Amino acid sequence: MTKLKRKNDLEVNYDYEKFSTINGEHPLKKACDEAFIEYGARVRKGGKVAAFNFALGKEMGLIPKGHPDKMTPELEKKILETFGIVIINEYDEINNIKFPEKEILPHKYMATRYLQLQHPNKQGKTSGDGRSIWNGVVKHKGKAWDISSCGTGATALSPATAIKKKFFQSGDPSISYGCGYSELDEGMSTLFFSEIFHKNGIDTERVLAVIDFGNNISINVRAHQNLLRPSHLFNHLKQGNYEALESLVNYYIDRQEKNGVWKEVPSSRTARLQFFLKKEVEVFAKMAAKLEDEYIFCWLDWDGDNVLMDGSMIDFGSIRQFGLFHSEYRYDDDDRFSTSIPEQKDKARYTVQTFAQLVDFLITKEKKNVKSFKDSKATQSFDKYFIKNKRKNLLYKLGFKPETQEALLKPAKKEIDALLDSFSYFERAKSKAGLHKVPDGINWNAIFCMRDILRELPQLYLSRNTNIQRSEFLEIIKSYYCTEEDLAPNSYRDKKIDDFQEFYWKLVRKAAKFNNEDEQTVLLNMTMRSSIINKMDRVTGDSISEIVHKVMHAKPKIKPTKLFELLSEFVDYQDLKPESKMANADKESQSNLVKGMLKIVREYREGL
Amino acid sequence: MKLVLYGGGHEEENLHLDAEAIKLTNVSDPRVTYIPSCSYDSEVDFIAFVQNYRKLGLTRFIHFPIDVPFDQVLLSEAMSSDIIHLSGGNTYYFLKYLRKTGILSRLKAFVKNGGVLTGMSAGAILMTPDIKTAGYPKFDCDDNDEKVKNLKAMNIVPFEFFPHYKNSTRYEKELVMQSKKVSTPVYAVPDHSGIVVDGNSMKFVGKTVCFHKGKKVPLSSHLKLV
């Protein structure tokens, strides 16, 4: 009998035609012509695909589900044809620079307008995508995905153009940020960081591809189901542009509804707007609590930039995740310092306040001062949702099962708040060494690692069935930054240790009662879940930078297929969700590069 | 001395050996410490370990990775457990960190003080005089990526332990040859089988095979430990 010869995966002709629909066309163009500047574009030669996110490509329907996670020459060609582009900007036109006809693309691409605090015009008249364009939209399984590329040339919306009052040639070496190009290491960091966030349920834009043009110059292609930021609306609000604002809000609501993110959206205009406000309140309260509890630094400010409307992370250039609650860290952006993590909540609240002003404006057609919304129903709801999410996050980190977390929220509110109080006390304790400079800003070191106590305490309680000593408590939580002086006897701290243990036990007892289990069973479940949630090795911003450096300088150079393999392995390792971790429990032996990555993660685990 | 040496295999198929370990403690609700050979994703293995032991009614467990920094509180709690289990994995890597942290000698003291030490595959090899059995046969051995030179282990049993033994010619040939090089017997233990040591008495659970001085020797189920 003749054996059928099975075709090699890579010998199959895969359909990459969906890439061809990404051509600059986007529904936002029809929704609001004041939301963008259009640019012609041309082919940019000399690029090589440095990274491609096969998983995201499948999710978006760009490559078939059965496509191997391997780069094919045809796929690379499609990626380069679709995303290897540069805009024809004002500088090119003023200087009458001619490009070969065959290299000019048929459609135009949007650089969108949004508010940005670093621009001299505080109404968003000059600001927006300074080095990005929107490539288009793809639809797959009822979901629309926006795609945008960073590093596609200098637009008129960059701070450099607004400040210097001139247009720049793309790639102009005299002006780094305004040159319109982006960096390869930035793209790679975003790829690693965003995939880890995504794996852990932290909403984020994701990197679809990175194209390397040499000399650390790249185009970084990002995707998300809705790439609008609050700042896309706030510029029109500042300018009192009612029509543009209304068009964009309607566009946003429609997309959320069509993508199935928002359900039961009311049909009447006022109810729709109130629904929109309620959703934004929930989004920003949840996000602010999450950022604080996961020690994620994201530079939020009054402009509503650096975050998407649905609370997703973007622009990973300044995003960090700390190992400890370094609550005094501030990023130094040359002419200003960023907000700190605790201030993020106030900025998120202010964003909600601005949304309240925005919705009121759309309903009444009268633009009131934003200050009059300081204690509005929306900001009050924000405060309530914020604390509710803080409580939820604590119960999750303690290791309670999902159904127990829900059940404890109301009846154990007093105990949760008391534990939260002690928890925050230790989390925010700072070194006697004081404020000091760090490579990209300033910091005042946190000294206690709360993840360690959350991981070890249920095990110790199971073993002893009683409290641990105060000295033992400190021995467990003390970090690398903690000095003898920091640990000097302190009666208030002793009381906080006692409170922590008292309310921890009270919650365990309440959970046992609710679950109809004994305390040991509750503690055992907490032990197991907490060992994953509070895993010792969690990435920090510094560790991601080091890992990316290692990946970029590996010899021989890592090709996209291998890179995706490494990324997947590393991201799976950093999956700190008990359910998905246990569901994907098959582990293979680590490659030498991943072993090296783990060492880096460990070395930087308490840092910035 | 109370030991259980596991040949290997899935947790659920080693329940009978777990039961032997519990019996050795003489405690109604023993505390068990799980020491993984490597911390990489060891939480997953820890949970599988716990879920299996729970079937036997146990509820008190400690997860104690030793290739990452650890505090003295967890260390002393681990060392005061009733059972300490050494997981399977890369024997060289495991030995390197057990020695580096000083836990290798603390485990010997733990056993001397009456604690029950159990070990799966690599964990069991570590109880023997040295870890040479991790280095053969070539077609199925651990890689010494850590370049460990000192292969001396706990030396608390007077035999060599060869885990995951399969009754095949190529294994037999290799073990016959290797057993000529050592004066102690080499016990070749298949998955789901094991050796239980209680004081001076030794019990074989499952189909253990002995290779001694170049010969395959028949075994009775109980032997005296000498």
Task: Check pLDDT > 60 for residue A145.
Answer: yes
| Side-by-side strand order, sheet with B194-198 | B60-63, B31-35, B83-86, B116-120, B2-6, B194-198, B201-205, B222-224
Q: Is the peptide bond before B137 cis (omega within 30 degrees of 0)?
A: yes
Q: Quick one: pLDDT at residue A333?
A: 84
pLDDT interval class at A598 (50, 70, 90):
confident
Contacts of A475 in chain B (CB under 8 A): 71-73
Q: Average pLDDT in the A455-460 region?
A: 98
Mean pLDDT of all residues belonging to chain A? 94
Distance from CA of A532 to the nearest CA of B (A): 6
pLDDT interval class at A445 (50, 70, 90):
very high
A536 and B68 within 8 Å at the Cβ level: the answer is: yes
Q: Which of A330-339, A576-585, B165-174 has the highest mean pLDDT?
A: B165-174
Task: Check pLDDT > 50 for residue A149.
Answer: yes
Task: Check pLDDT > 50 for residue A2.
Answer: no
Task: Check pLDDT > 50 for residue A1.
Answer: no
Q: How far apart are CA A419 and CA A432, in angstroms?
A: 25
Spell out which chain A residues touch chain B, with contact meaning CB-CB distance below 8 angstroms.
452, 456, 459-460, 462-464, 468, 472, 475-476, 520-521, 524, 527-528, 531-532, 535-537, 573, 581-582, 585, 587, 590, 598, 602
Q: Quick one: pLDDT at residue A606?
A: 82
pLDDT interval class at B48 (50, 70, 90):
very high
In this structure, whether the domain defined by B2-224 belongs to CATH 3.30.1490.20 is answered with no
Q: Quick one: pLDDT at residue B187?
A: 96
Q: Are B65 and B94 within 8 A, CB to CB?
A: no
| Global model pTM greater than 0.80 | yes
Task: Check pLDDT > 80 for residue A3.
Answer: no
- Tens of pLDDT, residue by residue over A525-561, are 999 999 999 999 999 999 999 999 999 998 899 999 9
**ipTM for the predicted complex:** 0.92
Q: Quick one: pLDDT at residue A222?
A: 98
- Tens of pLDDT, residue by residue over A67-97, are 999 999 999 999 999 999 999 999 999 999 9
- Classify A576 as helix, strand or coil: coil
Contacts of A535 in chain B (CB under 8 A): 43
> Residue type at A457?
L
pLDDT interval class at A173 (50, 70, 90):
confident
The domain locations on chain B are 2-224
Q: Quick one: pLDDT at residue A497?
A: 98
> In this structure, what are the phi and psi dihedrals at residue A569, rounded to the nearest 5 degrees?
-65, -45
Contacts of A527 in chain B (CB under 8 A): 50, 61, 63
Angle between helices A341-364 and A377-398 (to 10 degrees): 140
Higher pLDDT, B224 or A342: A342
- Quick one: how far is CA A15 from the chain centroid? 31
pLDDT interval class at A576 (50, 70, 90):
very high
Distance from CA of B193 to the nearest CA of A (A): 23
Which of A42-56, B141-155, B166-180, B211-225 has the lowest average pLDDT?
A: B211-225
Task: Check pLDDT > 60 for residue A473.
Answer: yes
Q: For testing the chain B interface, which of A454, A479, A536, A580 should be mutated: the one with the most B CBs within 10 Å?
A: A536
User: Cα dist. B98→A107, A389, A602, B36, B92 in Å?
Assistant: 64, 42, 19, 11, 10
Alpha carbon dihedral A358, A359, A361, A363, in 10-degree steps, equals 170
Q: How far apart are CA A495 and CA A426, in angstroms?
A: 12
Q: For residue A272, give both structure tokens.
A: 């729709």
Q: For residue A441, give both structure tokens.
A: 């800003």
Q: Which residue of chain A is at minimal alpha-carbon distance from B62?
A: A459
Residue the block writes with tokens 């308490």: A606
Spell out which chain B residues touch chain A, with contact meaning CB-CB distance below 8 angstroms.
31, 39-41, 43-44, 46-48, 50, 54, 59-63, 65, 68, 71-74, 77, 81
Q: Is the peptide bond before A120 cis (omega within 30 degrees of 0)?
A: no
Alpha helices, DSSP H, located in A365-490: 377-398, 402-409, 413-427, 450-464, 470-477
Residue the block writes with tokens 């290739």: B67
Q: Average pLDDT in the A265-270 region?
A: 97
Q: Are B225 and B158 within 8 A, CB to CB?
A: yes
pLDDT interval class at A484 (50, 70, 90):
very high
Q: Quick one: pLDDT at residue B12?
A: 87
Cα within 13 Å of Cα(B185), Cβ side:
16
A573 and B41 within 8 Å at the Cβ level: the answer is: yes
Cα within 13 Å of Cα(B3), Cβ side:
32
Q: How far apart are CA A180 and CA A156, in angstroms?
A: 10
